[in-house]
Amino acid sequence: MNFTDNQLKAINHKEGNLKIVACAGSGKTTVMAERIAKLVSEGADRDKIVAFTYTDKAADSLKFNIREKLEKWSPDEPHLGGMYIGTIHSFAFKRLRDIIPKYRSYEVLDEVKRIIWVHKYKGEIGLDSIRKDKLLIDSIKRFLNTVDIIRDNQIPAERLNAIPDFMEVYENYLNILEREKYLDFSGILHKLVSVLESNSTLLTDLKESIDYLVVDEYQDVNKIQEKLIYLMAGENGNLCVVGDDDQSIFEFQGADVNNILQFENKYCNVTTVKLEENFRCPEEVIEASRDLVKRNRNRITKRMVAGNIGDEINKSDSGDLYKVEFDNQKEESSFIIDKINDLRGCEYKDEDVLRGLDYGDMAIIVRSRLSAQHIVNALREQQIPFTFKGTGGLFERPEIKFIQAIFYYIADYSFSREEPPVDLNHLRNSFESLDINHLEWGQLSQQFEELKSYIKSITPSNPIAPQRRTFLQEFYYQLMGILEVDSDHYSEDLLYDFGRFSKLVAEFESIHGWINYGSFIQFVTFLAIYAQNKTDEGGIDDPRNTNSVNVLTIHQAKGLEFPLVFIPDVSTGRVPSRNRNRKPKTHFEEGIIDLDSFCSGDEGERRLFYVATTRTKKFLFMARAKDNGGKNLVSRSKYYTEFDHEIMEYNNKPDPTSRNKIEPQCKPNMELMPTSFTDIRHYIECPYRYRLQQMMGFSPVINLAYGYGLQVHNLLNYIHKTYGGEPPSLKEIESLVESDFFLRFTRGEPLENMKRKCKEIISNYIEEYNDQFELKLETEKPFEFPLEGALISGEIDLIQKIDPSSQEIKNVSIIDFKTEKEDYENFPLLRMQLRLYAIAGSKSLGLNPLDAGVHFLTNNVRRNVSVNPDKLDETRGQVADAITNIKRGNFIATPNHDKCKNCDVRYVCSNGKCCNGC
C-alpha cells in the first residue's frame, strides 16, 4: 500500500502524544497496525504495548492487521507477544484480578445477566421502594441507567445526597454485588480507577508496564474511561488517540466528544495528524456527506476528499446513487427488492478482483428497527436471505412460541393481562398448528401435566438437599426429549432456535443455579419482560451464514463497509429521531447531572446520518415513503435534502448504466475462525457434539462442583504470579484459600470439603515443587496464533526457564495444571494440548519450548510431554485437519456407548438417545 504523507507522519511518530483525526474510510486501522509493527521492529517491547478498541471484533481486526505488518517489519518474529489489544473493560478486569486476588472469583455481569440478577435480588435491593415505572423492566432499566451514570461520570457523593432514597437502594445493590462476587461493566472501571487513585505504588507499576498506549474510537470514550487512560498515560506519555468527532454516535452511553476536541488542552507535546482522504466511498458520496456534516458547528474542520486508489479515484457512475420518494411502504420495499435483484451478479471490482455482487455485499441501514420491518417482510416474502440482529426474532418462530407456552402453562402465566393463564387447551391449539407429526397429543398433555406438578413440588425450604436440586437446563432437555427434538424430526433451522433457547436458559442458570418453583416463575417472567423482545433467532452469528443481506441499525453499522447501501425511511420523525432530545430515564433530581449531554440532538443525528452514508463503497440508495405506517403522511427528513449531488437520480427510473452480469460471488470471509484447544478437542471427540454445542448453542447442565477446577487454577496462578523465589508458607496458603476460594452454587459441607481439598493439593504442590519457583518466567500467559484460517487462542498456566542462570530466556518448559486425576485414556488428547501450547509458545510468544508437562494436581504428579519438531508437526497436522473439517461443515456423529452416556447434549442427538439414563 502506498501511504499518504499524513499517514506516514502518523506511522513514523514515535515519542510524545499523538492525535490522529481519521475521517471515514481513511485507513486508520492499517495506519495503527503499521505504526505498532514499526515500533516493534525498532525495539519497542511487545509486552509494553496496549491498544484499546471499542469492540472485540475491532480488536480482532487490528490484531490481524498488526500480524500482517509484522511479517514485513519483523519477518523473523511476526508474533504479537504480550501486547494487549482489546476493550478497556477486559483490560481493567484483568488488571484488577492481577492486583487483588479476590477478584479472581468474581464474574462479570453482561447486559442480559445483569437484568436477570437485578430481577432476582430486587426485593433485597429494595427496588420497589423507588419504583416509578409501571413495567418492571422499565423500572430495572431506570435503576441501572442511574447506577451507570453515577459511576461513569464519577458524580461526587455530596451531589447524590439529594436523592437519599435512591442512594439507599444503590448501596444495597453494591453490597449484594460484593457479597455474591459479581462486577458490572461500569463497576470494573470505577473500582480500578479508585484503586489506582488511592495506591500510588500500583499506579506506578501500571504506568511502568506500558510504553505505548493506543486508543481507537477516542470520540466515543466516556469520562471514567478517559480518567483511566489519563492515569495510565499521564500528560507526557506516548499516548496515541485515534478518532473522528464527526462519527461520535454513542452520546447515550456517555461518550464525550470533548475528549477529542480538547485533547491538546489536557495533554502535553501533542502532534496532530489529520487523515482526510477517504479511500472507501465514491467521490460524489464523499462530497455530499461532507456538505451534510459541515452543517454541524462543534467539530474539527477537515478537508475530507477522495483518496487515490492506485492511480484512480473511486467515482460514481450514473445510476449508482438514487434518492427516491414513494407514496407508501409497499412501493419503497419493492424498489429495494428490485435493486437487490437487478444488482446481484453485477460486475464489481474489489481490490483488483472482479466478481459478481452477492447478497452479503448489500446492507439496509436504518435509524431504528421500526424503519426496517416492512422491508424485512418483503425480503422474507421474496425468499431473499437476510440477517437482522437485535430484533427478538426467536420468539416469532411458532415452535419456540410453543416452548414458551409450555413454560407459561407450568407457571400458570398468561401472554397478556387480558388473557387467562395458559392451559392445556391453549397448548393443544398451539401444538395442532405446528407441523409436528411424530407426536401424539394425548401422551404429550400427560407429560406436560407431570412436569407441572414436579416443578410445583420444588420448594425453597430445603434448597441444598441434593434430591431436591433441579437445574433448569436439565428440565429444558427433559422437555426436548418429550418433544423428540433431534435432527430426525426437526429442520436444521429449528435446531438452531432450540439451541438459542438453551443459551437463554444457561444465562439464567448462571445467576440462579438450581431452581425451585419460585425461580422457575422468575425465568418465565424474564422471558416475558425481556428475552422475548431481545433474543435473535439461532444461527444468526454462524460465520457460515455470511451471504445474506445485512439489515442493521446505524449504530451496528459503525466500522463496517458495503458495496451497496440502502438507507430507507429518510423522513421526519425517523431521521433525525423524534427521541433525539429525550433524556435517559433516571432517578436524578435537577442539578445533579446535565442529562442533555446524553441526547443525540440535531448534531448527533446528523453525525449518525453521516456514518450511514459513508458505509458505501459504490451504490447508495436513499428512499422514503410519504405514508410510513403512521397516522399521518410524513415529510422529508432535512438530511434527505442536505445530502445531495448532481449525479443523483431522483426518480424510480431504470438504471441508466448498462452493467455486465457475472456469477454472484460474495467476498470470501477473511476473518479467522476463533477457536481454542477445548473447541478442537470437542470436535475430535465427536464432530456432531461440536456442532450442537459450539455452533447451535446447546449448553451443558451445571455441575455441582461448578468452578472448582477454575478456583484451584486461579489461586495457584495467583501464587505463582505473586511469590517470586520464595513460595508461600502453609499458613499463607490457608488464609488465601479461606478468604478467596468461592464456589457459586455450592454451600455448607460440600463447600468446606472442596476448600479442604484445595488447601491440600496446593500445599502438596508447593511442598514438592517449591524449588522450582525460581524457574518461573510467566504465568497465565495468553496466546493467539493463526493456523489454517483459524485463530487459536488460549492461556498457558506456567512457563518456566530451563536454566535460571542462563541469559537465554527463550528456552522454556511449558506446564499445564489439571485438577482432575490422572487419566490414561485422555492422555493422548492432553499431549496434543501441550504440543499445541508449545507451538503457541514459539508462534505467538517468540519462545523456544524445549519440554512440556501436564501436572495432575490431585495426584501431584507431572507427566512429561515430548515436544520435538516431529511431534509438533504431527499435532499441527491433526489440528489443521480438524479446522479444515469444521470449515467444510463435516459434522458426522461418532457415537459410542461410554462417550454418549456422559455427553451433555445426548438428549437432542438421535445417536445418543439410546444412552439416556444409562
Known binding residues for ATP: 22-29
912 binds ligand SF4 (CB under 6 A): yes
| Cβ-based nearer residue to ligand SF4, 425 or 894 | 894
Nearest distance from C-beta of residue 443 to ligand SF4, angstroms: 24
For residues 730 and 732, what is the distance between their CA atoms, to the nearest angstrom?
5
Nearest distance from C-beta of residue 114 to ligand SF4, angstroms: 33
For residues 359 and 480, what is the distance between their CA atoms, to the nearest angstrom?
34
Nearest distance from C-beta of residue 430 to ligand SF4, angstroms: 29
559 binds ligand SF4 (CB under 6 A): no
Q: Where are the beta strands (DSSP E) in 98-206?
A: 107-109, 182-184
From the list 187-195, 380-388, 858-866, 900-908, the region that binds ligand SF4 by CB under 6 A is: 900-908
Instruction: Please give the annotated binding residues, written as ranges.
Output: 22-29
Nearest distance from C-beta of residue 894 to ligand SF4, angstroms: 6
Nearest distance from C-beta of residue 479 to ligand SF4, angstroms: 18
From the list 419-427, 661-669, 685-693, 711-719, the region that binds ligand SF4 by CB under 6 A is: 685-693
903 binds ligand SF4 (CB under 6 A): yes
Nearest distance from C-beta of residue 521 to ligand SF4, angstroms: 32
DSSP state at residue 729: P
Q: Strands 270-275, 17-22: parallel, antiparallel or unpaired by DSSP?
A: parallel
From the list 23-31, 219-227, 388-396, 907-915, the region that binds ligand SF4 by CB under 6 A is: 907-915
In terms of Cα–Cα distance, which of 192, 123, 202, 571 is closest to 366? 571
Q: Where are the beta strands (DSSP E) in 654-734?
A: 673-676
| Cβ-based nearer residue to ligand SF4, 525 or 885 | 885
Size of the site for ligand SF4 (CB under 6 A): 14
Angle in degrees, CA 349, 354, 359, rounded to 5: 80
Nearest distance from C-beta of residue 597 to ligand SF4, angstroms: 52
DSSP labels for 12-56?
Answer: H--SSEEEEEE-TTS-HHHHHHHHHHHHHHTT--GGGEEEE-SSH
94 binds ligand SF4 (CB under 6 A): no
- Considering all CA atoms of the chain, what is the largest pairwise distance in Å, rounded to the nearest integer? 83
Sign of CA dihedral 484, 485, 487, 490: positive
155 binds ligand SF4 (CB under 6 A): no
- Helix, strand or coil, per DSSP, at residue 319: coil
- Helix, strand or coil, per DSSP, at residue 266: helix
Nearest distance from C-beta of residue 515 to ligand SF4, angstroms: 25
**Could you tell me which residues are beta bridge partners of residue 108?**
183
For residues 702 and 692, what is the distance between their CA atoms, to the nearest angstrom?
17
From the list 80-88, 376-384, 478-486, 892-900, the region that binds ligand SF4 by CB under 6 A is: 892-900
899 binds ligand SF4 (CB under 6 A): yes
Are 703 and 509 in contact by the 8 Å Cβ rule? The answer is no
For residues 109 and 683, what is the distance between their CA atoms, to the nearest angstrom?
29
Among 563, 688, 787, 805, binds ligand SF4 (CB under 6 A): 688
737 binds ligand SF4 (CB under 6 A): no
For residues 667 and 362, what is the distance between their CA atoms, to the nearest angstrom?
11
From the list 508-516, 551-559, 810-818, 906-914, the region that binds ligand SF4 by CB under 6 A is: 906-914
DSSP labels for 50-100?
Answer: EEE-SSHHHHHHHHHHHHHHHHHH-TT----TT-EEE-HHHHHHHHHHHH-
DSSP state at residue 623: E
911 binds ligand SF4 (CB under 6 A): yes
Bond from prior residue into 576 cis (ω within 30 degrees of 0): yes
Nearest distance from C-beta of residue 897 to ligand SF4, angstroms: 9
| Cβ-based nearer residue to ligand SF4, 18 or 909 | 909
| Cβ-based nearer residue to ligand SF4, 375 or 905 | 905
| Cβ-based nearer residue to ligand SF4, 776 or 899 | 899
| Cβ-based nearer residue to ligand SF4, 578 or 897 | 897
For residues 13 and 124, what is the distance between their CA atoms, to the nearest angstrom?
54
177 binds ligand SF4 (CB under 6 A): no
Distances (CA, A) of 530 to 138, 172, 563, 775: 10, 23, 35, 52
The side-by-side arrangement of strands in the sheet containing 562-567 is 321-328, 616-627, 562-567, 362-366, 549-553, 386-388
| Cβ-based nearer residue to ligand SF4, 345 or 895 | 895
Angle in degrees, CA 869, 674, 670, rounded to 5: 100
686 binds ligand SF4 (CB under 6 A): yes
Nearest distance from C-beta of residue 690 to ligand SF4, angstroms: 8
Distances (CA, A) of 536 to 127, 395, 435, 622, 677: 29, 8, 22, 27, 28
Nearest distance from C-beta of residue 485 to ligand SF4, angstroms: 13
900 binds ligand SF4 (CB under 6 A): yes
| Cβ-based nearer residue to ligand SF4, 364 or 696 | 696
682 binds ligand SF4 (CB under 6 A): no
Nearest distance from C-beta of residue 378 to ligand SF4, angstroms: 39
499 binds ligand SF4 (CB under 6 A): no
22 binds ligand SF4 (CB under 6 A): no
Nearest distance from C-beta of residue 484 to ligand SF4, angstroms: 15
895 binds ligand SF4 (CB under 6 A): yes
- Helix, strand or coil, per DSSP, at residue 575: coil
Binding mask 604-643 for ligand SF4 (x = CB under 6 A): ----------------------------------------
- Helix, strand or coil, per DSSP, at residue 388: strand
In terms of Cα–Cα distance, which of 894, 845, 838, 846 is closest to 866? 838
From the list 189-197, 498-506, 645-653, 909-917, the region that binds ligand SF4 by CB under 6 A is: 909-917
Among 638, 681, 689, 757, binds ligand SF4 (CB under 6 A): 689
Question: Exposed e or buried b for every residue in 745-772, given b needs 16+ CB within 10 A?
Answer: bbeeebbeebbebbbebbbebbeeeeeb
First to last CA, the chain: 62
Are 705 and 754 in contact by the 8 Å Cβ rule? The answer is yes
In terms of Cα–Cα distance, which of 565, 567, 633, 642 is closest to 602? 642
893 binds ligand SF4 (CB under 6 A): yes
Closest residue to ligand SF4, based on beta-carbon distance = 912
719 binds ligand SF4 (CB under 6 A): no
Binding mask 208-227 for ligand SF4 (x = CB under 6 A): --------------------
From the list 126-134, 359-367, 406-414, 684-692, the region that binds ligand SF4 by CB under 6 A is: 684-692
| Cβ-based nearer residue to ligand SF4, 52 or 688 | 688
| Cβ-based nearer residue to ligand SF4, 861 or 918 | 918
From the list 355-363, 733-741, 860-868, 902-910, the region that binds ligand SF4 by CB under 6 A is: 902-910
Cβ neighbours, 10 Å, residue 103: 20
**Could you tell me which residues are beta bridge partners of residue 622?**
323, 567
Nearest distance from C-beta of residue 498 to ligand SF4, angstroms: 14
Are 426 and 409 in contact by the 8 Å Cβ rule? The answer is yes
| Cβ-based nearer residue to ligand SF4, 71 or 492 | 492
| Cβ-based nearer residue to ligand SF4, 323 or 689 | 689
Nearest distance from C-beta of residue 539 to ligand SF4, angstroms: 18
- Helix, strand or coil, per DSSP, at residue 811: strand
Q: Which residues bind ligand SF4 (CB under 6 A)?
A: 686, 688-689, 692, 893, 895, 899-900, 903, 905-906, 909, 911-912
